[in-house]
Amino acid sequence: MSESQTPESRWFTYDIVAEDPTTHARAGVLHTPHGDIPTPIFMPVGTKATVKGILPSQLERLGAKIILANTYHLANRPGEDLVAEMGGLHEFMRWRGPILTDSGGFQVFSHGEFTRLTNDGVEFRTVDYDGQHVFWTPEKNMEIAQKLGADIVMQLDQCPGYPSPRPFVERAVELSSMWAERCFRAHTRTDQALFGIVQGGMDLDLRLRSLRHLEECGDFPGYGIGGYSVGEDHETMFESLAPLASEYMPKGKPRYLMGVGNPTTLVHGVECGIDMFDCVLPTRTARMGSAFSSEGRLNFRNARFTHDHGPIDPDCTCPVCTGGYTRAYIHHLVKQKEMVGSILLSLHNVYYLLELMRRARQAIVEHRYGQFVSEWDQLPAAKDW
């Protein structure tokens, strides 16, 4: 093993099994200690060690292969030491498959005026919990991540919003790069993969600068792409994301587009070579009474569903759509703010994105992903952003 290689690189390998001839889409398998992950994949988000409204056994039946949890929130409640005492996240939340934890950096920097940034780390107030002052260094962040025990963890980084002045984005790239190197040195758990994160806003040259810094740090088993879906429109995102993913990201490593989850962005993300996605969108929109569907986004607060005998989506094979639950019933639950409405819509929405990625993968394997994208773009379902 060379000096730049990590011990975990023996645990976490990525095999590309098919590449589409007309796009940059690829199908692969990411191997982890808790199971193999077929890509492209959507990863449901369980911020506080639970995907809201869905049991782990239900997620498994829906076809989820990997789920997320959040370092910031779990460090606050119940605390990383308690999670470690309980056997780590897998035992704590009773999920048998792979888990990814993000660094919590996005949540920290969303505190705005309650955040103070230095080269050493970030000081912040936990205003959404007990208001205490906390100082995170990259080393502290890695300590927390290793105690939580997920299969994949992310470096501590700074995620600039959109729009941001170029000097601010440049500074975020520099800081994230320094922190990546420190995270790389501090991370010692060999049954856990540490991914670096490419930042740089909407500027491709800054994205490439960030990527070069990460590659110089060492042999990261995979790469996150952060700082998208932070206020920009769909077209602006892909101006830099498409060339970054298709031309410059390392071919033999998984590419994870962080925090993106609307169906059309997933379809076009796969087209330019993205392998992994996550977002709270399917469960968050469910709690607002909305569903993904072949007709586009449906709002079940709308009175037009009052007497509708049909399923959420007649083209969907999820347990809700095939289980006899009518649009009229969902409408009633949503209007009455019954939790079962949110649960049923969450089950449907998570399944919808998992199934979309299963279909995408099959299209790549069959060398027809270009056709898949063209057909998707003509569907009512595509108008979802």
Q: If DSSP codes are grouped into helix, strand and coil, which group holds residue 53?
A: coil
281: its two tokens: 């969108």
Does 321 count as an annotated binding residue?
yes
Does 222 count as an annotated binding residue?
no
The alpha helices in 166-316, defined as continuous H runs, are 166-186, 204-217, 234-243, 263-271, 281-287
Distance (Å, whole) CA 126 – CA 132 = 6
Which member of 20, 151, 275, 278 is catalytic? 278
Please indicate whether residue 278 is annotated as part of the active site: yes
Give the residue from 49, 51, 38 showing the smallest Cα distance to 90: 49
Please indicate whether residue 102 is annotated as part of the active site: yes
- CA-CA-CA-CA dihedral for 63, 66, 71, 73, to nearest 10: 0
Does 279 count as an annotated binding residue?
no
Does 104 count as an annotated binding residue?
yes
Which member of 102, 151, 275, 313 is catalytic? 102
Does 131 count as an annotated binding residue?
no
Residue 173 burial by CB count (10 A; 0-12/13-18/19+): exposed, middle or buried?
A: buried
Does 132 count as an annotated binding residue?
no
Does 367 count as an annotated binding residue?
no
Question: SS3 breakdown of the chain: % helix, strand, coil, rounded to 5?
Answer: 45, 15, 40
Does 348 count as an annotated binding residue?
yes
Does 157 count as an annotated binding residue?
yes
Does 120 count as an annotated binding residue?
no
Give the residue from 19, 70, 98, 15 showing the smallest Cα distance to 364: 19
Annotated binding site for Zn(2+), which residues?
316, 318, 321, 348
Annotated binding site for substrate, which residues?
102-106, 157, 199, 227
Which residues carry out catalysis? Answer: 102, 278
Annotated binding site, which residues?
102-106, 157, 199, 227, 316, 318, 321, 348
